[in-house]
Structures are given as structure tokens and as C-alpha cells.
A and B are shown apart, each in its own frame.
Chain A
Amino acid sequence: GAVVSQHPSRVICKSGTSVKIECRSLDFQATTMFWYRQFPKQSLMLMATSNEGSKATYEQGVEKDKFLINHASLTLSTLTVTSAHPEDSSFYICSARQGINQPQHFGDGTRLSIL
């Protein structure tokens, strides 16, 4: 089956640092990748949608300068949380889709803790 690998699975870092999370589609080409954030006991909130080679489309209220998304190839997208603060602590999940009518496959998530 389609596999999406997300790395790292857990990050703990100091306030003010930048953190990069990678999302790879291992056995298919992902034309579209999605980044979600999930706070404890809440649902998934879509942050942005990225198509390979294009700029990401951010959801309302998501700061594009703070959450930098790069989707430079059909198998890799990265999310960089710049100058992270404690309120950015959350569970970040990526998802990838091969085509417009294909299902989304989810990564294992990254738990980000900012001290």
C-alpha cells in the first residue's frame, strides 16, 4: 500500500529555534501534499496544501512566514516552523495524494514540543 514517511517523529527544542519536518511518499508520486496540525483532544486542522513545484496555499489564519512549506519534488515536502514558540507545540501530520481522485495517505505525525 501507499506509504508516507514523516520525520522526525518527535522534536523537543528551545523557544526561538526553527524546526524542519520532512514528509516523503515512499512508493508513489505525490502531486499534492497536505499539512495538518492537531491540538490535544481536537480534530485535524488543515494548515496548507502544496502542489509539486508551486507555492503552497495556506488556510485562513495560518501565517505563511512562520510555517514555510516547500514541495520541491514529487516525493518530498517540508514544513519549517520558524522561530518556534511554546504555542506552536502541537502534533503535525502530513498527508500525500497521488492524483485528484486518489485517497490521501497520512504520515505518522511529528510531535513538536517547544520549551
Chain B
Amino acid sequence: ELKVEQNPLFLSMQEGKNYTIYCNYSTTSDRLYWYRQDPGKSLESLFVLLSNGAVKQEGRLMASLDTKARLSTLHITAAVHDLSATYFCAVRRAAQKLVFGQGTRLTINP
């Protein structure tokens, strides 16, 4: 059974700092997604990573994938308050269902 674990689950950081959220998954999978969720809202798609070594960047967020380690990272550079949200990774194996991590609640303080 595919399991996805994120850490940390809670992250409070100062504006201007860098930090990384980790996403580990238990079995070989063919695609990994990162989503953002604001309070009371649905999911916003951030990245999809398909292959080993894939790196994608959008603004202050950068996601990477290491399929051998079964690990993805979401790196935040010079954080700003607007990035405060809950971030989910989700993994899918072949034609099976999407499995979500627990989510990381990120709070960025001025």
C-alpha cells in the first residue's frame, strides 16, 4: 500500500528565511504533485514531477524529485507572508488513486 508522509507537519518561520518541506513515499510511483490550500479553500496545483531528478520552480517555490530515495522536496526561498498556507504532496502509482500526505501548515511571520 502506498503511503505518503510529509514533514514537518507544522512550520512557523520568519519572512526572508529559507526552508524545505519533505515528502517521502513508500513504493515506486510515476508522478508526484504539490498542492497549496488556503484556509477554507480547495486545492491549487503547484507542481507535477514525473521523473528522477525533475526540478520545477515558480517564484519562491522550487520542487524536486528523487525517485531512488522516494523523496520530494518543496523549497521556499526568502519566504513572504503570502506563502502562508497548507502544502500537500500527493503521489500516484500507475492508474491508481492519488494518495495525499498529511499536509504541512506553513505560517510565515513578518
Contact = CB atoms under 8 A, between A and B. Distances in A.
Interface residues of A, number: 18
Given A43-B88, A49-B97, A106 B103 contact: no
B100 A108 contact: no
Nearest to A107: B42
Interface in A2-51: 6, 34, 41-44, 46, 49
A98 interface: no
B95 to A, nearest CB: 5
A46 B92 CA distance: 13
B97 A46 contact: yes
A106 B44 CA distance: 8
Nearest to B45: A103
The majority secondary structure among interface residues of chain A is: loop
B42 A100 contact: no
A100 B88 CA distance: 21
A106 B43 contact: yes
A93 B43 CA distance: 9
Which of under 10, 10 to 19, 20 to 34, or 35 or more describes the interface residues of B? Answer: 10 to 19
A44 B95 contact: no
Contacts of B33: 103
Given A93-B42, A109-B41, A111-B40, A104 B98 contact: yes
Contacts of B45: 103, 105-106
A43 B48 CA distance: 19
A6 B33 CA distance: 22
A103 B48 CA distance: 9
Given A49-B97, A100-B95, A108 B42 contact: yes
A107 B95 CA distance: 21
B101 A109 contact: no
Closest 6 CB pairs of A and B: A109-B42, A106-B43, A43-B100, A108-B42, A106-B42, A44-B100
7 contacts: A6-B42, A34-B98, A41-B105, A43-B100, A43-B103, A103-B48, A107-B42
